[in-house]
Structure 1
């Protein structure tokens, strides 16, 4: 009965791994002794007493080794998921992204580091304006990470906007996914608090007098809108390509800029219904959003995407560039 009471009070799973090893040894020796004892009793006891003895032994063993549910571990620090974290773990969403085609960037720009509010340094790909300028474009990566394709997109905006500092933030702290599974895992595991810290660090790097616009694709589309919310009165423009919109109307009320949203009607990750709800929420918040819907799939504007749509991409870029030129003029 001692064993039964012991495991009723202290669950087996609560023992540390080293303690479990010694406990297993003790139980093994005890059970061997018990079995030998029972075998001896089988020889000397009557049939009725044998049955009782076997029944008691079976009950003791079952109660001692009945598995108990593991208690959830107490986290060392509290982190929360961002709006696209669940999508990152969804195989259906992962399947919307085919592995990007190889691409190597060899153009302008350099990698820099800057401080963030959480005390950890962050990095970014930076192309400084040829002339001193307080105009900034923050570029937000797709879910793959800050890869060479994003660096090329940053350079394209830099060349076409003129006299604008372009900063492509590394939201994964150096990690880059090359398969949908890798990208999903990285995106899901990056805490919302770290994403916000990197965005705040990038905004601070631009300076208090900076006039800031943002652009991003997929995961970065969501971040572009979140960045605009964090930029406050410094926000000059926001372009989001097929990213999950903010759904909190109260947060949307704090926006200081209108939004250009670019989406695909064939997008199963951010479907037209989600876009329609975003328009409804923006209207409820008293804010303006312009939606450009293309007959294309998720990620259509990425040239390294096998589902790339050149026609839709060209028109979407024309709209994005025209919007940003106006906002950063």
Structure 2
């Protein structure tokens, strides 16, 4: 089924919210389905015509040139900026197409390759291997620093540093929560099925549920009731804890969706929920001044 990017421009009436039990053990919980997608080719295909786009290199604070995909409307700007954080499968065509969809809404968009120091997910044959050999070795602190470098690059290259947002999918959804607690200049975050709890490790010492008091930016969380790695109870507990702490957040739980319901190159894709989530994301950004 071909879904046009124009389908993402209309809002769908709200869906009901739903209540966090800790699900420990597997590193894969809340990250991905058991089967690794063969490739990241999107069902939705967004043209680059009329956009400025390309692969760039951004110098990180440790001196490493971080590769990234950059796209924005033609012209000088300044444009509001959105950082896009990938799933565990990295910076493939689905993520690039997602960036172009956002650029067509008037945003400068940067999607960094946050795994490049540890490896290339495209060269690994299974989800378990990606998690054990690459993702588990990526320090959260390194990711936050790389995203800071992308935000600084954006502000110096046509982006508006006062209108900065982030969105991410799966692993990137968790990172979006973390960045909302890390960068006080962030205006808004949208986390697509990002894991909220987990075991503390050397590379990931804190999870979103541990950082509620530090979260400054308003966060929209988009989740599936049938996600086998992120229980509805986790989402509902996070909602309650955020409200109790006086934090700005909204949660949408799609009753029939599982994990990765926005990933249009995977069997988990649910077009209706993806379209609704996309519209909610755009409305969230604009309502928060991004």
Range class of TM-score, shorter chain: 0.7 to 0.9
Other-structure match for 1:212: 164
Normalising to structure 1: TM-score of the pair? 0.66
After superposition, the C-alpha distances for 1:95-139 in whole angstroms (9 at most, x for unaligned) are 724322534478532111112122322121101332311410010
Q: Which entry has the higher C-alpha Rg, 1 or 2?
A: 1
SS of equivalent residue, structure 2 residue 111: strand
Q: Equivalent residues in 2 for 1:72-221 (5 A)? A: 87-88=26-27, 90=28, 96-104=33-41, 107-108=47-48, 109-131=53-75, 132-159=77-104, 161-162=105-106, 164-173=107-116, 175-177=120-122, 179-185=126-132, 186-207=134-155, 210=161, 211-221=163-173
- Gaps of at least 5 residues in structure 2 are 1-22, 197-207
Distance 1:281 1:119 in 2: 38
Cα distance in 1, alignment partners of residues 164 and 72 from structure 2: 14
Equivalent positions of 1:25-104 (< 5 A) are 87-88=26-27, 90=28, 96-104=33-41
Could you say which structure has the higher helix fraction?
Answer: 1
Q: Secondary structure at the match of 1:235?
A: coil
Q: 1:150 to 1:87 in 2, by over 3 A?
A: farther
- Tell me whether 140-149 or 312-321 shows the greater mean CA deviation: 312-321
Could you tell me which residue of structure 1 aligns to residue 239 of structure 2?
279
How many residue pairs get aligned? The number is 239
Q: Distance in 1 between matches of 2:127 and 2:283?
A: 32
User: What whole-Å deviation, never above 9, does each CA across 1:192-248 have from its counterpart, x for those lacking one?
Assistant: 23222212211222238612011111000011122222221x211110000023112
SS of structure 2 residue aligned to 1:287 = coil
TM-score by length of 2: 0.74
Structure 1 residue ranges without an equivalent (≥5): 1-83
Whole-Å separation in 2 of the counterparts to 1:283 and 1:258 = 11
Distance verdict in 2 for CA 1:299–1:261, change over 3 Å: same
Aligned-residue RMSD, C-alpha: 2.5
User: 2:228 matched to which residue of 1?
Assistant: 268
